[in-house]
Amino acid sequence: MDKRRVVVTGLGAVTPIGNSKDEFWRRLIAGESGVGPITAFDATDFSTRFAAEVKDFDVEARLGKREAKRMDRFSHLGLAAAKEAIEDAQFPADDAELWRESGVIMATGIGGILTFWQSSEKANRDGTWSKVTPFFIPMLMANAASAQISMQFKLRGPIFAVSSACASGNDAIVTAYNYIANGEAPMMVAGGSEATISPLAVGGFCSMKAMSTRNDDPQRASRPFDKERDGFVLGEGAGVLILEDYEHAKARGAKIYCEMYGYGQSGDAYNIVAPDPESEGVELALTRALKRANIQANDVNYINAHGTSTPLGDSAESNAILRVLGQDTKVAVSSTKSMHGHALGAAGGIEGVATVLAVQNDIMPPTINYENPDPDCVLDYVPNIARKAPVDVALSNSFGFGGHNSVLVFGKLR
């Protein structure tokens, strides 16, 4: 059976630089940073005291007071982004078959860790576990955001969560893509949501020495590919894409942002947290993405890099890109994490939205805080200022602890 073409017809975002896709995009191409001192808790005693927090998010206004009390923050963010994406896609209200046959695949790396932390703290403080909320498990579970979206919109197709660390968002989009490409669903809601800014998660990452400690200048702490980078900046948020069968979208006269050509996935088989210094897994994922999408190396105009601002990760990714696209490649590469931080399992969803908008608008978002070239990172990183240039084909990279590598390929309708 011939594969169906898959297009993007809706977008939604809740991020540290904007609580809608339009605000997110405006501030992204303006090069604004969403990083600042942690306000979620007192971080005085932590080696890293800043993060990229979602700001001014009125959950009760977005979701309603009753529903908000029954969800963890990661579900709040995911449901809000999904609502925006579904509204953006402008589906006919009376298409009962669409909702019956379509599904939701949302990603998270950690799930309801805020619920876990807050409930544990309360039980220990009160000296009893008997008053743990009956919503504790439904709030905690990784599939909660997918389930909430399904219930909100009466989606009865495939509904589940994907969790592959920081590759989760991309892997959720890949899985949704395949349901449509194989003719099993006309539309899928896909992306990722994460909310981990808590003493427990920050403490864990501090112990690993994985995060930047540039406490005196947090807005300049996330500096992917810069020689002075010293670790990632923890972020939170959600990004959601509406993937749709091209023929279905065309028949209803949908606005189409771009086409998803394919993807590539691989495993490092190397280390539970450290990237393979030879980046063989990343190279495999990139190569498989080009092959599955049926494009050549010189077709790629732009790459939204994983680019976490870690010393080993950024150089490994850069070197893999050079090996796959060629040592003389002119491809533009940027890391939007320099502005919105690293949202772990939501990264692929948020950066998927950014990549789709780059294709639609022919604008490459910048890598901000890029000041000192690194001899181990020699690509064009769109330093500090967005660039107006053709973006006919774009890749979006996401790699996760455990050696999970996932690359998405988006492009203009062909």
Catalytic residue from among 76, 206, 248, 306: 306
- 342 has catalytic annotation: yes
Which residue of the set 76, 248, 340, 342 is catalytic? 342
Question: What does the H/E/C string look like for the chain?
Answer: CCCCCEEEEEEEEEECCECCHHHHHHHHHCCCCCCEECCCCCCCCCCCCEEECCCCCCHHHHHCHHHHCCCCHHHHHHHHHHHHHHHHHCCCCCCHHHHHHCEEEEECCCCCHHHHHHHHHHHHHHCCCCCCCCCHHHHHCCCHHHHHHHHHHCCCCCEEEECECECHHHHHHHHHHHHHHCCCCCEEEEEEEECCCCHHHHHHHHHHCCECCCCCCHHHCCCCCECCCCCECEECEEEEEEEEEHHHHHHCCCCCCEEEEEEEEEECCCCCCCCCCCCHHHHHHHHHHHHHHCCCHHHCCEEECCCCCCHHHHHHHHHHHHHHHCCCCCCEEECCHHHHCECHHHHHHHHHHHHHHHHHHCEECCECCCCCEECCECCECCECCCEECCCCEEEEEEEECCCEEEEEEEECCC
Spatial separation of the C-alpha atoms in residues 121 and 211, rounded to whole Å: 25
Q: Is 166 a catalytic residue?
A: yes
**Known catalytic membership, residue 248:** no
Q: Which residues are catalytic?
A: 166, 306, 342
